[in-house]
Structure 1
Amino acid sequence: MICREQDGALIMMKQHDHGLLAGNFAKWFKEEHTPAEGRRAEVLWAVSHHDRGWIDLDETPFWNDAEGQPYSFIDFPVVPKLTFYRRGIDEIEAKTPYGALLCSSHFERLIEVSGEECPELTQYLEDEAERRARIHRRLEQEKPLEEGELYYDARLLQFCDDLSLFLALNEPGSKESKKHPWFVDGFSGSEEFSFTSGRAIHAKWRDNRTLTLAPFPFTQDIEVSFKQRRVSLKAVQDKGIARAYHEAPEEECKIRVISGPEEDSRAKNG
């Protein structure tokens, strides 16, 4: 679950809905920078489904007493999280081995960034390294990877994942001073796309329905929609998080994503 607090309520978004939104972004990414045609459909499916391991977990949110808020993908206990990571990648591999290779590498990066350590985590990393080696061997026999293919596709997944997270973690229309700290310096790794000329992509709200990006990564201005729930903190106190969440109506949020002034990006990148 992805969660933020706003005006006496928890704004909650399911991980898989976030993944589907990331896949929508990947679909519109500039054509000259999208995956090779031979694996494009697999990559877009994998980006959309990279968080499918959370589907069952997000049916009922869990309360984190220590933090006074629902558990999120950030602080969810490591051992069950790894179990569902593995389950999700298993399901992806059944559909597309290359997609599983991509998602396994993605989660390895997230784990390294988190700095978590435990024996179960060490075993998970070893198991996933074996999975990736096995898939590499299979692909070399069936359809060898092009030079830089996996590296590029990993950057695409990372950016679309981050942009989707931006919409989940930031109040639409909020001021720059209220921006979630993860995105203050732009989207990490986006400077590696050739069209950015070494500049990180930055996001800025024009209003509560319009987000600008510069440098602009898509083939055209787009409109995306995603689902979320606004769960009253009073309802959580009175009924508990599970009941309060299920009784909260699902809302559809629509956001236009358009090209922003290039000078904004140049200034922020020094």
Structure 2
Amino acid sequence: MTLICREQDGFIVMVKQHDHGRLAGELAAWFKEEQVPESVRRDEVLWAIANHDRGWIDLDETPFWNDAEDAPYSFIDFPVVPKLTFYRRGLNEIEAVTAYGALLCSLHFERLIEVSGEENPELAEYQKDEAERRARIHRELEQRNVPIGEDELFYDARLLQFCDDLSLYMVLNRPGSPKSEEHPWWTDGFSGSEDFRFTSGRTITAEWKDESALMLEPFPFTREVEAVFKLRRVSRQEIKDRGIARAYRETPEEECRIRLTGRLEEKSADA
């Protein structure tokens, strides 16, 4: 399992990757309309964002314990070779539904690999195969008279990156936590968000108002959004007593609800 995990008060809070992905898709659907280019591929983009982590669906049913870290394997430290297998699997499933969506998600995974700085022969082979996939999709769409514009692809890639990051932010940070305890990935805000026109070059930042509300500035949505996702709080003592697989299986799912809002002055200016 490559769950998204964080520690909290003797528990490991775990969220399935595909659940996080579906949340990203819901966020994308509420993104400011004036920022969304008119495109025949709009529905494909939203579907691809919601399904970008679907390759992990089966694997996320049973967690694996990482002895070196004394924690479950997560999407961060999962071994690279099997990770690439599930990347490919997910991309193949996405391409069966939308070729453009597969191109978009392939670029997204390529960015994640570049950021990680990992290098090995299997990774180089994966990157070669994915470059060929993307080139083929470009050719096929051109032959069908639906070529891809550079601005369109750049925007859609930024939309996927931001919604993925914001969804991860809500999963990896304890609701209501102060900025001093914020996950280090977003200390300076959401990278790439400064490219959206409505930000005027500013980076979107997040700050918890309380345990149920997260303030975003500049605010990126057409209205306040209620983000909902499922999680499990698995006790470390239960893991020690029963093992990770059984402890996870016997821990009931909880529903987490977070209201995404802007600052009062920002909302007043938009009124």
1:160 aligned to which of 160, 163, 169:
163
Q: CA deviation at 1:146?
A: 2.5
| C-alpha distance after superposition, 1:221-257 (max 9, x if no partner) | 1112100000000001111111100100000111100
> Using the alignment, how far apart are the partners of 2:263 and 2:190 within structure 1?
15
Q: CA deviation at 1:35?
A: 4.3
Q: Would you say 1:222 and 2:236 are equivalent positions?
A: no
1:23 aligned to which of 19, 22, 25:
25
Runs of 4+ in structure 1 displaced over 3 angstroms?
none
Q: Would you say 1:252 and 2:255 are equivalent positions?
A: yes
Q: CA deviation at 1:261?
A: 5.7
> Which residue does 1:193 correspond to in 2?
196
Question: Aligned partner of 1:53: which letter?
Answer: G
| Contact 1:13/1:168 (8 A) holds in 2 | yes
Q: CA deviation at 1:262?
A: 6.8
Q: Would you say 1:133 and 2:119 are equivalent positions?
A: no
> Which residue does 2:76 correspond to in 1?
74
Q: Would you say 1:106 and 2:108 are equivalent positions?
A: yes
| Contact 1:2/1:12 (8 A) holds in 2 | yes
> Using the alignment, how far apart are the partners of 2:265 and 2:97 within structure 1?
40
2:216 aligned to which of 213, 217, 223:
213
Question: Aligned partner of 1:8: which letter?
Answer: G
Q: Would you say 1:146 and 2:149 are equivalent positions?
A: yes
> Which residue does 1:61 correspond to in 2?
63
Unaligned 5+ runs, structure 1: 264-270
> Using the alignment, how far apart are the partners of 2:143 and 2:262 within structure 1?
42
Q: CA deviation at 1:145?
A: 1.4
SS in 1 for 2:139: helix
Q: CA deviation at 1:76?
A: 0.2
> Using the alignment, how far apart are the partners of 1:54 and 1:118 within structure 2?
22
TM-score w.r.t. length of structure 2 = 0.95
Q: CA deviation at 1:111?
A: 0.3
SS in 2 for 1:29: coil
| C-alpha distance after superposition, 1:182-207 (max 9, x if no partner) | 11100011111111011100001111
| Contact 1:192/1:198 (8 A) holds in 2 | yes
SS in 1 for 2:76: coil
Q: CA deviation at 1:33?
A: 1.3
Q: CA deviation at 1:95?
A: 0.2
TM-score w.r.t. length of structure 1 = 0.96
> Which residue does 1:36 correspond to in 2?
38
| C-alpha distance after superposition, 1:38-81 (max 9, x if no partner) | 11100000000000011111110111110111111111001100
Question: Aligned partner of 1:31: which letter?
Answer: E
> Using the alignment, how far apart are the partners of 2:156 and 2:33 within structure 1?
13
SS in 2 for 1:148: helix
Q: Would you say 1:240 and 2:243 are equivalent positions?
A: yes
Q: CA deviation at 1:147?
A: 3.7
Q: Would you say 1:11 and 2:13 are equivalent positions?
A: yes
Question: Aligned partner of 2:54: which letter?
Answer: R
> Using the alignment, how far apart are the partners of 2:261 and 2:63 within structure 1?
33
| Contact 1:210/1:258 (8 A) holds in 2 | yes
> Using the alignment, how far apart are the partners of 2:265 and 2:217 within structure 1?
6
Q: CA 1:217/1:239 → structure 2, altered by over 3 Å: closer, same or farther?
A: same
> Using the alignment, how far apart are the partners of 1:53 and 1:33 within structure 2?
29
> Using the alignment, how far apart are the partners of 1:113 and 1:261 within structure 2?
35
CA RMSD of aligned residues (A): 1.0
Paired residues, what number?
263
| Contact 1:30/1:217 (8 A) holds in 2 | yes
Question: Aligned partner of 2:34: which letter?
Answer: E
Q: CA 1:170/1:186 → structure 2, altered by over 3 Å: closer, same or farther?
A: same
SS in 2 for 1:37: coil
